[in-house]
Every structure is written in structure tokens, then in C-alpha cells.
Structure 1
Amino acid sequence: MNSTHAASASALVIAALIERLVIVLTPITTADRLLRITPLADCAGLRIEGELDHSTLPTLRRALASINVDSSLCVDLSGLTFIDTGCLRALVSAATALHDGGGDRVLTLRSVPPQVRRLLELTGWHQTPGLRLQAPARPGRPTPGRPHS
């Protein structure tokens, strides 16, 4: 490979990395404004606000894929208002992929609403290797990664 091709290949790699970084750092809001996904400040992960259903599943998958982590991942569900089983399965699949990637990597679901926890238990998905559930924050106690009011 000559130096011109090497330089252009390097430029393409750098451009792809910058694009991936912008995707991770930029909040994602669907056109219908039913879903907003923002990066967490305190760990590698995402905060999800709004509805996760078949129409927002591709957005969720893109957001999960945009995070290239060598460690564990957090997904804060404190702003979640609805989730269907397809989107829940996507989160469980992300946990499985982290676990299967080696090491002690896990996906922690933070501030899991009681109805979501119940669905995970009914399906048996709460026992998925690589998945950890964290209860919702108690009233008066701040959720990790969220500013104090």
C-alpha cells in the first residue's frame, strides 16, 4: 500500500471513530419525541426516557451498539414509561453479548420499575448471565448519575 492509500485509509478510520464518538455523546430523540436516550456521566451507559416499543427498537439497538466498552455497561431506566418484550429482549441480549465477550462484564439495569422487574422474573430473564438489576431509588435519595434537585 502506498502512502496516499495509507493516509486515506487512516482518515477513514479516524472519521468513523469521530462519528461513533459523536453518536455516543449526542442525545438521541426520536422524531415523534416518544424516546430520548442520553449518555450517563458516571459510568459507560445510557439513560432512557420515554417509551421503548417496536417503533423505537431500532433506535435502542443503535444506541447500545454505539457504546464500545471494554468494561461493564449501565442502562438507567428511571425515565422509562413503557417497554415491550422486544425491547426488553434487546437489553437482555446486550447483557448476554457483554458476558459472552469475556471477563466479568455485565449490563446493569438501574432504577428498574417494579413492572419491568416483574416481567423479567416471569420470563426468567432476570437470571440471564451478565444481567444485573438495581431497584429504583427510594424517594428522597438521588439516583446515581442524576443531579440533586
Structure 2
Amino acid sequence: MNTTDAPSSPPVIALTPVRAADQLLRITALVDRTGLRIEGELDRVTLPALTLALASTAGSGSFCVDLSGLVFIDVGGLRALVNAAARLQGGHVLTLRSASPQVRRLLELTGWHEAPGLRLEARQSAIPQKLKPAVASDRRSQPAMRLTGIGPFREPADHVD
């Protein structure tokens, strides 16, 4: 009997792309880690395909669901993700990657952002730091800039003739 703890590789999930409801939803396995990528629309019509894919992935422990290709999700689809996370045991988590601001807002409004087993991956900005617009606190320290005489928007004259 071998008692040496060999590093284990993540389980391989044989998941062929799933297309549902006349190709409104496409679910594929992630390449970089255990999980799923969801593309398209997730609603009551396409929900059974997601439920099946989540069930087949959940047996592998912690996994990720990439939502970057998601165009629409209703509350039923969001509930399916939260329920899949809640069913994970042994400290495993379901990580939602690339959740849109709308999905994040809905999770907060419902209180599901704190659901057991669910983790929202921090959003990474695609805008380089130097190109980001100034926030309100940054503007206070900068002198006000006045643009006059540009296009049809002209400031009124300081004096009346």
C-alpha cells in the first residue's frame, strides 16, 4: 500500500458542449480550471440544461462558472447557481467568474451574495489604471477646467451689452 501523498490533478469532466432551446444557451467545460462557461441566455427554457451541467460538475468538489458570455439570466437561473453552491460540502465552493454588474446587483438585492458555498470572483478591470476616469475624490484635488466656445455650447458672457 502506497502511503505517499502524491499531488492530485483536478478531475477531468467529460462535458460536451450543451446547446439548449434552439442554441440560446451554450455550456462548455473550462480549459484553465474545473468548471463551466455559460454563453447566451439563461431562462426557464434553458434552465434544465444548466441544472444538468451543474449536477455533473458538482461531484468534482470546488468549481468555477464563467458568466462572461452570459447575455441574460433570470432569477431562476441565478437560483440554480446558488442552490448548486449550497449543495457543495466539505468546504468546497462554486466561484462565479466574470459576473456582470447586473448579476452582482441582483445577488446583493436577494442576499444570495452571502449564500453558503458561493464565491464571487473579484472583477478585474479591463481599463488600465492610467486610463480610468477620475473619481469624485480625485476631482476635488484638481483645479476646475472650463471649456468655452466649443461647439454650440457656449458659456453666457460675463457682461450684458
Same fold (TM over 0.5): yes
Q: Could you say what secondary structure the match of 1:67 adopts?
A: helix
TM-score by length of 1: 0.72
Q: Which runs of 5+ in 2 are unaligned?
A: 1-12, 129-161
**Could you list the runs of 4 or more consecutive aligned residues of structure 1 that deviate by over 4 angstroms after TM superposition?**
none
Over alpha carbons, which structure has the higher Rg? 2
Which of 76, 88, 96 is 2:86 aligned to? 96
Identical positions, percent = 65
CA distance in 2, matches of 1:38, 1:140: 27
Q: Which runs of 5+ in 1 are unaligned?
A: 1-20, 142-149
Is residue 110 of structure 1 aligned with residue 97 of structure 2? yes
1:41 maps to which residue?
Answer: 31
2:65 maps to which residue?
Answer: 75
Choose between structure 1 and 2 for higher RCO, CA contacts under 8 A separated by at least 6 residues. Answer: 1
1:134 maps to which residue?
Answer: 121
Distance 1:68 1:84, change over 3 A: closer
C-alpha contact 2:58 2:84 (8 A) present in aligned 1: no
Equivalent residues, number: 116
C-alpha contact 1:44 1:69 (8 A) present in aligned 2: no
1:51 maps to which residue?
Answer: 41
Say which is worse superposed, 77-86 or 130-139, in terms of deviation: 130-139
C-alpha contact 1:51 1:82 (8 A) present in aligned 2: yes
Report the residue type matching 1:129 in the other structure. P
Deviation, structure 1 residue 124: 0.2
Deviation, structure 1 residue 129: 1.0
Report the residue type matching 1:111 in the other structure. S
Deviation, structure 1 residue 68: 4.8
Q: Could you say what secondary structure the match of 1:25 adopts?
A: coil
